[in-house]
Structure 1
Amino acid sequence: MSVHPIVPIFQGAGKPKRKEDIESGLEFRILGPLEVQMNGQGLTVGGPRQRAVLSALLLSVNQVVSCDSLIEKVWNGRPPRTARTQVAICIATLRKVFRSAGWSEETITTATPGYMLNLAGHSLDSLRFEQMVARATEWTAEDRPAEAAAALREALALWRGPALGGVYAPFAETEAARLDEQRMLAVEQQMALRLQLGEHQALLGELQALVGACPLRERLRYYLMLAQYRSGRRAEALTTFRDGMRHSIEEIGLELGAELQSLHDSILRDEFPQPAVPGIAAPLRDRPQPVPCQLPENDAYFIGRSREQWLMDDALLSDCPQLPSSIAYITGSPGIGKTSLAVNWAHRSAHRFPDGQLFADLRQDRTLDVLHQFLRRLGAEGPLPMDVPEAAERYRAMLEGKRVLLVLDDASSYAGLRHLLPGRGECRVIITGQADLDELLQKYSALRLRIGPLSDEESLEVLTSVLRDSRAEESPQATRRLAALCGHTPPALRAAATKLLTKQHWRVSDLVRRLERSADRLAELSIGEDSLRARLNRRVRELDPLSAAAYRELSRLDGADFEAAEAAKVLGTDLLDAEDLIETLVDAQLLEVVGRGLSGEMRYRWQELVRLHAFHSLCAAPGLANCVG
């Protein structure tokens, strides 16, 4: 077997250096003038455009904001011709500011069709405010007014002035008004709690100032009248009512509402020495908890996998006392359909789990965040443990005696999911991932399913179901060739069918011919953020530098199959080191083991589109732009 020119990049290579730990991340502050701090030091964000772009990303944190949306927000519908370029410059400038401050991770990522600010490792005061207000609401419902009032005091202390100060754009003004309304609702809730705690005299000055600043907020006027009445200032309470009535009629032409008028009448007659405090949530204890159902939407074009589903039925649904397993682990290469299989089976079997179905994307969320999410879905009330083992203990206690199905998607390590596994009982777990979770298989009798490409018939069914016309049946030979060019992988098959769907005048053979001549077939078969190329890019980024380089270099080998000795020549290493690198790629589901050759050495195989991705990555590497396949 011939090979392409060898670049011995591994000779003398050492282990990759670890990144230095950073004391803390970036602190974004929008509850007042827009600020960014790092370890207590303020960063210079830049001019009006950079501040507007950063504000827009912070208001949609952890979500993709399209470039068109950023242009609309920054220029308010009147963008210059260079707007897209200017947005890109703003993003580059912000990234440079963050890097200069010592944060090496990419906080603002490029994500089709725009950009996303990833808050992982950082903090945002508006999110902290919302979390503390939510906690106060829970404590209020549990009749814990002191704790709730303290949480609201801490939340309101985050405010430093009008929100998004220094950001001059209509969208910022709208969002500032929304945030300020949230602040006022929190203020009103805090006043209600403090009245409930008997702090009426201490509140008089604060409430008078608040009513003076916001004379049309009837709830604040109610609380001031109540505080005055309870402090023995009955005449002042009645005056407060008359001032409010006059102001309301003059400003908006309406009398005060029924609650205030009822309070006025009660104070006038001195009938109720302790009128009730409105605005306090009813206790949650007696409310029935809904059964959690977190499963994502089923895949409309899910095809095949009947053998795998039968094995999962046998392992997870058997009524036999010697139950084979309570866990199914689905693994396979990126884009092969692991999540679709898990979610399809979960929907089909949901009726067997009457206590609910829980779902978590482990690539997106931290273990503690997932535990908190699950605990809330299971009905946990009050503050949640901030320690992972403690939260896991409470989580397992809540699952005790229940029959719940858990789908844990995209697991990368046993450490990342072990606290999410229930104890012994009737719960069942489906895990998907691309890593070999040796510890999971060692500690649990888990069913391990490695799924591969679809069969010819299943691939044809995917193409036909997406295409929804007769072109596939009219050209069976061309359709089979198209399925082969797609590597029989679901994302590529759907992308191909979608191209035909949008090109009604094309025959299947037209697309086949185009793919056969394409210099980058994977690009032709990639549509959207979750394309096969995007999934492979993510997987390779998770590899260590030596394994990622091996992934690229091995694509120089001719053909899909090869032995370790051939790989060692390409990699410029000895046989043992080459085998270690190859096994890392096997564990990452980027290569397959196909047995031993005539020489007795282990043989490995590329899936075709994975090899194309590796070779494209090789050609895109610096200094290799002219390599040829």
Structure 2
Amino acid sequence: MRATGPQGPVAVGGVKSQSILAALLLEANRVVPMQRLIAAAWDDDPPAGAQTQVRNRISALRRAFRDVEAATEVIVTSGSGYALRTPEQRFDLGTFEAELARARFLRSAGDAPRAREALADALGLWRGSTLDGLTAPLMVEAAERIDQRRMGAVEVRIELDLELGRAAELVPELTELTVENPYREGLHALLMLALHRAGRQAEAMAVFRRIRRELVDQLGVEPGPELQRLHRALLDGGPVTLSKAAPSRPAMAVEPARTVVPRELPAAVPGFAGRHAALHLLRQRLPQPSAPTTLTVITGIAGIGKTALAVKWAHEMATAFPDGHVYLDLRGDSLNRPMDSGEALGRLLRSLGVSAEAIPVDVAEAANRFRSVVSGRRVLLLLDNAVSEDQVRPLLPGNSGSVVLVTSRSQLTGLVTREGAAAIPLHGLTGGEAQEVLTHLVGAQRVHAEAHAAGEFAKLCGGVPLAIRSASATLIRHHDLTIASQVEVMRVAAEREPFDAVTGSSLA
């Protein structure tokens, strides 16, 4: 494990820190629970303060990455876990998978030379054993899975080399690979084919005899159908080619989407109040199963409650979407780099059961695949914190009876004019609604006892739910503090700095 920045190596700590970083990278852009991070570092024998040690190591990693790229937080907290946010081209495994997808696309398009080049680029990322030095079983298992993907890519690259007429120069490499992997039948099949095409028939037959002897003596099994078919073709003197159904292409296989019903909605915000008109409009937007996809855009300033409204309605109507609920934070706020459409499509397809290796790298192709997967399914898709129309458009299903909710600080008028989206602009809560939120936070007794001060409190917060919750923090911590005294503090703060400085930099 190592990290490199513009100025050279980045200190990522010792083996435990490297294991935690590796666990985050293996699930890049997804939340990794605390227990999995502990298992990555200590397996089933963690110390008493393992959670604290993980948090300390995460803090050290954050500082190291912040020194390199101060503009964004690479490791973010989510619930009791953490997620490492980074584009796939920023870490080797992500680049490897992207190059495999590019090779798959190029090969399907008949461009063998460029497909071979993409695979060579992917394999060129290796500089030794995968996750070398990380010995927890979780890391060892992950390394074995990655190595299997690597060997599958090696086999496909060799197949392409054979297609390009390079049989003779492949023989030394394949000979070495079969020694290192004595039971991997796909490599032996490729060696037999390379020897045959290089005019070395007797040696090709000897490869079969050798692998058969190894399999029978050591494992008690005969060679598989592909090796036996190649052997018969050599004996018969007929065409000697790889079968189209050869089992030696795990890195290029396109899996059908598994039947996965995602349930990804965040928890509803406690103490939700008001928004009756908006909820009524959303309920009217529920389509019939055979109707086109329904698109609704909820807009407003930071903290106004866009996500809270969307999640509230989504939970209310969850049973209307038997094929799942998918949530995706597009990171269109000021604290994070917005998610590009390619990454977003990858996340959506994985949520719907498509394996990572089957996801096209081309955005247009991935969008087509997404529409195919969603077709005939009734799915609720919540796209939170969108930054632009162009970010959202590739993520829209076709005519499937699904519903897409988009939240954004921008108006996204293009989605309204071109895609027929309904726009729901959110403004501040009314005085009564704001007091409902305050009542939930600090209790009805305190609000009723200081009804006038509670009204002033709500006015100073501008009816912004997040501002109400932020300003209530002191009242929640100090039960003997009066609402009136907190109002005075807020008045002084409002005179010193603009209102949005009072609300802080929390997300909408």
TM-score (norm 1): 0.56
Distance in 2, Cα, partners of 1:266 & 1:423: 48
Structure 1 residues 108 and 221, CA gap change in structure 2 (3 angstroms) = same
What's the CA shift for 1:372? 6.7
Is 1:447 matched up with 2:423?
Answer: yes
Q: Structure 1 regions of 5+ residues with no counterpart?
A: 1-33, 319-324, 457-480, 493-510, 518-535, 541-547, 591-629
Alignment pair present for 1:109 and 2:83? no
Matched positions, count: 458
User: Which residue does 1:411 correspond to in 2?
Assistant: 385
Shift of 1:166: 2.8
Match of residue 259 from structure 1: 226
CA contact (8 A) 1:200 1:230 kept: yes
SS across alignment from 2:182: coil
1:337 partner SS: helix
Task: Compare CA radii of gyration and give the structure with the larger one.
Answer: 1
1:241-296 Cα distance to aligned partner (Å, 9 max, x none): 111122222322323223212221221121335564635879x9xx9x99999985
Match of 1:75 in 2: 42
Residues 103 and 119 in structure 2, CA contact (< 8 A), matched pair in contact too: yes
Evaluate the alpha carbon distance shift between residue 549 and residue 134 of structure 1 in structure 2; reply closer, same or farther with a 3 A threshold: same
Q: State the distance in 2 between where 1:137 and 1:246 align.
A: 35
CA–CA separation in structure 2 for the residues paired with 1:516 and 1:158: 66
Instruction: Give, in whole Å, the separation in 1 of the partners of 2:389 and 2:218.
Output: 62
Assess if the C-alpha contact under 8 Å between 2:38 and 2:46 holds in 1: yes
Q: TM-score, normalised by structure 2?
A: 0.67
Whether 2:99 is the aligned partner of 1:132: answer yes
Of residues 299, 313, 332, the one that matches 1:341 is 313
Cα deviation, residue 359, structure 1: 6.9
Return closer, same or farther for 1:559/1:362 CA change in 2, 3 Å cut-off. Answer: farther
Match of 2:298 in 1: 329
CA offsets, 1:313-338, max 9 Å, x none?
767869xxxxxx97553665266432
Map 1:267-286; keep pairs closer than 5 Å: 267-272=234-239, 274=241, 276=243, 278-279=246-247
Give the C-alpha shift of residue 394 in structure 1.
8.9
User: Whole-Å Cα distance in 1 between the matches of residues 214 and 68 of structure 2?
Assistant: 51
1:508 maps to none
Amino acid at match of 2:281: L
Distance in 2 separating the partners of 1:83 and 1:429: 42
Matches within 5 A, 1:474-485: 485=439
Q: Look up the match of 1:366.
A: 340
CA contact (8 A) 1:76 1:170 kept: yes
Partners of 1:78 and 1:561 in 2: CA distance = 48
CA pair 151-233 structure 1, distance change in 2 beyond 3 A:
same
Contact 1:48 1:167 in 2 (8 A): yes
Q: State the 1:217 CA deviation.
A: 0.8
Q: Is the 8 A contact 2:330 2:385 kept in 1?
A: yes
Residues 569-602 of structure 1: CA deviation (Å, up to 9, x unaligned): 54335xxx85xx469969x998xxxxxxxxxxxx
- TM-superposition CA deviations, 1:70-108 (whole Å, max 9, x none): 333323323333434433333333333334445463323
Q: Any idea what SS the aligned residue of 2:21 has?
A: helix
Contact 2:101 2:359 in 1 (8 A): no
Q: Are 2:289 and 1:311 aligned? A: no
The 1:77–1:431 alpha-carbon spacing in structure 2 relative to 1, beyond 3 Å, is closer
Separation in structure 2 between the aligned mates of residue 51 and residue 290 of structure 1, nearest angstrom:
33
| Deviation by residue 1:472-529 (Cα, 9 ceiling, x = unmatched) | xxxxxxxxx9998326xxxx9xxxxxxxxxxxxxxxxxx9899999xxxxxxxxxxxx
**Is the 1:139–1:147 Cα contact (8 Å) retained in structure 2?**
yes
8 Å contact from structure 1 (residues 330, 431) kept in 2: no
Matched residue SS, 1:266: helix
Partners of 1:170 and 1:281 in 2: how far apart? 27
Is residue 2:453 matched to residue 1:486?
A: no
Cα separation, 2, equivalents of 1:62 and 1:326: 26
Question: 2 CA distance for matches of 1:327 and 1:104?
Answer: 32
Query: How far apart, in 1, do the equivalents of 2:398 and 2:239 lie?
Result: 56
DSSP 3-state at the match of 2:83: strand
Separation of aligned partners in 1, 2:222 and 2:155: 21
Paired letter, 1:448: I
The aligned counterpart of 2:495 is 572
> Could you say what secondary structure the match of 1:65 adopts?
coil
Which amino acid in the other structure matches residue 495 of structure 2?
G
SS in 1 for 2:82: strand
User: Cα gap change, 1:317/1:449 in structure 2, threshold over 3 Å: closer, same or farther?
Assistant: farther
* Paired AA for residue 486 in structure 1: H
Letter in 1 for 2:310: K
C-alpha distance in 1 between matches for 2:436 and 2:283 = 33
Question: In the aligned structure 2, how far is the partner of 1:336 from the partner of 1:185?
Answer: 45
Query: 2:194 aligned with 1:240, yes or no?
Result: no
1:35 is matched with 2
Asked whether the 8 Å contact 2:104–2:115 carries over to 1, the reply is yes
Determine if contact 1:189/1:279 at 8 Å carries over to the other structure: no
